[in-house]
Amino acid sequence: MFLQGNRPSGNAIVTVALTFLTSSQAILIVWSKRAGKYEYSVTTANFLVETLKCALSLAALARIWKSEGVTEDNRLSTTLDEVIVYPIPALLYLVKNLLQYYIFAYVDAPGYQILKNLNIISTGVLYSIILKKKLSDIQWAAFILLCAGCTTAQLNSRSDHVLQTSLPGWIMAIVMALLSGFAGVYTEAIIKKRPSRNINVQNFWLYISGMAFNAIAILIQDFDAVMNKGFFHGYSIITTLMILNHALSGIAVSMVMKYADNIVKVYSTSVAMLLTAVVSVFLFGFNLTLAFFLGATVVSVSVYLHSAGKLQR
């Protein structure tokens, strides 16, 4: 789709790209704040992310149409039965994506990268429930290790509070993990229901649904602000980079599914956690504690074990 060439070269490019995008995602969100708050509308930012992903899907389809022609599997015209299923994951992603902005009131960028791994647990459990895929003993052990690692990384020895992240932050992280897991599993079920259907067509209808829900969110949450101050009020170079990052992250995940394998996601996730922490030391004065380092290490091992358990089934 976007990569050509031999597999080792493609894996290397995808790994570097995904690691960079993953590690910079939380940093850009925190960096886009001014005086501790977002001066721009987060709903308009989310709308632009979905719009850009939709445009990239159309661009990929245009290349396919030019080289292969329009076929039954890559044409945009479809039936209501096929399209009607996409609003469900689109709505879940909407809520999850909005929460990721507000969670930074309770957690820093490195902590967010740690807690973000909780979606591995929700995804695994929902896989076993919805798609009837049995989890291996190694994967269940990895889930326990992941919980231990996330908790260890959040230990706070310099305050009366045991954990750095407060209860609201943990609740939001868990809700985000559940939303992300359910949306991911549901989307995969939709995609695999029609395996011959071009992935860019399926992405297009998912992103169109996302644009519609984000437009509704703008009307409900930020209509007055957008009408009085303008759609792009408060936007900066960092905001633009953040939107581009979110859009390309979605494309990169699709590229991993097509060109790489599980070990790429494992490597990217583990390195991204440490990169985010190191960069946050210089940008935001983050205190890189021993607890965080040990917790990040345990999380990395658990992610690897989860992947190894999947390969052994």
- Partner residues linked to 163 by β-bridges: 155
Question: 106 near 163, Cβ under 8 Å?
Answer: no
2: amino acid identity, one letter: F
Q: What is the pLDDT of residue 161?
A: 57
Q: What is the DSSP string of 13-29?
A: HHHHHHHHHHHHHHHHH
Locus of tokens 């960028």 = 109
Render pLDDT for 177-197 as a digit per residue (tens, 0 to 9).
899 888 888 887 887 788 888
Nearest to 278 by CA among 42, 49, 23: 23
pLDDT confidence of residue 272: 75
Q: Are 119 and 180 in contact (CB under 8 A)?
A: yes
pLDDT for 252: 75
**What is the C-alpha to C-alpha distance for residues 17 and 262, in angstroms, rounded to an integer?**
15
> pLDDT digit string (tens) for 242-300?
999 999 887 777 666 555 544 556 556 667 777 788 888 887 777 777 888 888 888 87
250-280 burial code (b ≥16 CB/10 A, e <16):
bbbbbbbeebbeeebbbbbbbbbbbbbbebb
Specify which residues 155 forms β-bridges with.
Answer: 163
Mean pLDDT of 79-88: 90
- pTM comes to 0.80
Other beta carbons less than 10 A from residue 130's beta carbon: 14
Residue 64 has pLDDT above 50, yes or no: yes
Nearest residue to 16 (alpha-carbon basis) of 207, 259, 239, 199: 259
Highest mean pLDDT: which range of 78-82, 155-159, 185-189: 78-82
